[in-house]
């Protein structure tokens, strides 16, 4: 889900090397697998609140420049009416270097909602290709990214800035993230005629701190504030209605990651 709030908080942290640890073996495995389990106080997706407490596991495999994984969300508390429990997403990307500090990364996400009620306008699955440009300057990594959901028939435009602050005494780094996005979906409700449009803006600021347990595993603490703004729904010629899922929330997360 580059694609869900917890991943935004954890993606940089999982990859951060812990300082002061034993050096990695000279010959890296052809495929590196990382499993992460995360408890989060809110499930926010592009400024929309889908539930409160949740368990979000990820299994990710990386082989050279290719990365693929499965991400899930299982509701623990306060499910928003109509949202799916569970959600299981398959994602992948391939990074191509364009220079010393520049790369291009096309990818995709297949969102699946096994228990979604199609009769109530929800989709069992949607498919969203994306393309990102990564550029690092003065230690800040900027990632403008474009998504297009072929099922919902709409695009999302997003830019993320990430920066790591060295914490030498703790042997780790504090990963800081800021994100701004906007979306317009032309077919937000399954089977609706006329179609339902959905649009809005969102932003996020967050920080995550990985704490190395041993060479293969780490605990990741995360906190963020994210908010959806100017979000509306509109069907045909009817007046637009406020999207009540778009709210502002603090999110705290606790993850445990193991690499193989």
For residue 131, with 0-12 CB atoms within 10 Å meaning exposed, 13-18 middle and 19 or more buried, which class applies? middle
Residue 133, φ and ψ in degrees, nearest 5: -115, 125
Percentage of the chain exceeding pLDDT 90: 80
Q: What would the mean pLDDT of 108-136 be, rounded to a whole number?
A: 95
* Cβ-defined contacts of 54-60 (< 8 Å, 24+): 56/4, 56/6, 58/7, 58/34, 59/33, 59/34, 59/35, 60/33, 60/34, 60/35, 60/36
Q: How confident is the model at residue 230 (pLDDT cuts 50, 70, 90)?
A: very high
Q: How confident is the model at residue 81 (pLDDT cuts 50, 70, 90)?
A: confident
Identify the three-state secondary structure at position 124.
Answer: coil
Measured CA to CA, the distance from residue 88 to residue 225 in angstroms comes to 24
Q: How confident is the model at residue 134 (pLDDT cuts 50, 70, 90)?
A: very high
Measured CA to CA, the distance from residue 231 to residue 182 in angstroms comes to 10
Choice among 25-39, 159-173, 179-193, 225-239 with the minimum mean pLDDT: 25-39
pLDDT (tens digit per residue) in 184-223: 999 999 999 999 999 999 999 999 999 999 999 999 999 9
Q: How confident is the model at residue 241 (pLDDT cuts 50, 70, 90)?
A: very high
State the pLDDT at residue 229: 97
Measured CA to CA, the distance from residue 226 to residue 47 in angstroms comes to 6
Nearest to 55 by CA among 102, 88, 97: 88
Higher pLDDT, 10 or 179: 179
Contact status, residue 200 vs residue 242, Cβ threshold 8 Å:
no
Q: How confident is the model at residue 17 (pLDDT cuts 50, 70, 90)?
A: very low
State the pLDDT at residue 119: 87
Number of domains comprising the chain? 1
pLDDT higher than 80, residue 7: no
Which range marks the domain in which residue 179 is found? 5-259
State the pLDDT at residue 56: 97
Q: How confident is the model at residue 15 (pLDDT cuts 50, 70, 90)?
A: very low
pLDDT higher than 50, residue 16: no
State the pLDDT at residue 8: 53
Identify the three-state secondary structure at position 252.
Answer: strand
Q: How confident is the model at residue 164 (pLDDT cuts 50, 70, 90)?
A: very high
Nearest to 145 by CA among 162, 128, 132: 132
Mean pLDDT of the chain: 90
Residue 223 maps to which CATH number?
A: 2.40.160.40
Measured CA to CA, the distance from residue 62 to residue 103 in angstroms comes to 17
pTM of structure: 0.87
What letter does residue 79 receive in the DSSP assignment? B
Percentage of the chain exceeding pLDDT 70: 88
Higher pLDDT, 149 or 13: 149
């Amino acid at each position: 889900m580059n694609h869900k709030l917890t991943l935004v908080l954890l993606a940089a942290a999982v990859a951060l090397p812990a300082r002061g640890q034993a050096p990695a073996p000279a010959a890296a495995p052809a495929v590196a697998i990382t499993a992460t389990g995360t408890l989060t106080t809110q499930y926010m997706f592009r400024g929309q609140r889908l539930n409160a407490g949740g368990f979000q596991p990820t299994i990710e495999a990386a082989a050279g420049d290719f990365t693929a994984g499965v991400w899930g969300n299982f509701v623990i508390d306060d499910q928003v009416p109509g949202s799916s429990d569970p959600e299981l997403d398959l994602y992948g990307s391939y990074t191509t270097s364009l220079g010393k500090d520049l790369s291009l990364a096309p990818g995709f996400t297949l969102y699946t909602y096994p228990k979604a009620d199609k009769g109530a306008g929800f989709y069992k699955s949607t498919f969203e290709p994306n393309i990102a440009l990564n550029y690092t300057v003065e230690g800040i990594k900027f990632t403008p990214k474009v998504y297009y959901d072929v099922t919902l028939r709409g695009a999302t435009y997003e830019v993320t800035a990430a920066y790591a602050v060295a914490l030498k005494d703790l042997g780790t780094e504090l990963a800081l993230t800021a994100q701004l996005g906007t979306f317009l979906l032309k077919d937000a409700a399954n089977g609706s005629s006329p179609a339902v449009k959905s649009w809005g803006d969102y932003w996020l600021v967050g920080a995550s701190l990985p704490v190395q347990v041993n060479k293969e595993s780490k605990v990741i603490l995360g906190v963020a504030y994210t908010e959806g703004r100017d979000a509306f729904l509109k069907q045909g010629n009817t007046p637009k209605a406020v999207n009540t899922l778009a709210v502002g929330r603090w999110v705290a997360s606790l993850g445990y990651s193991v690499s193989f």
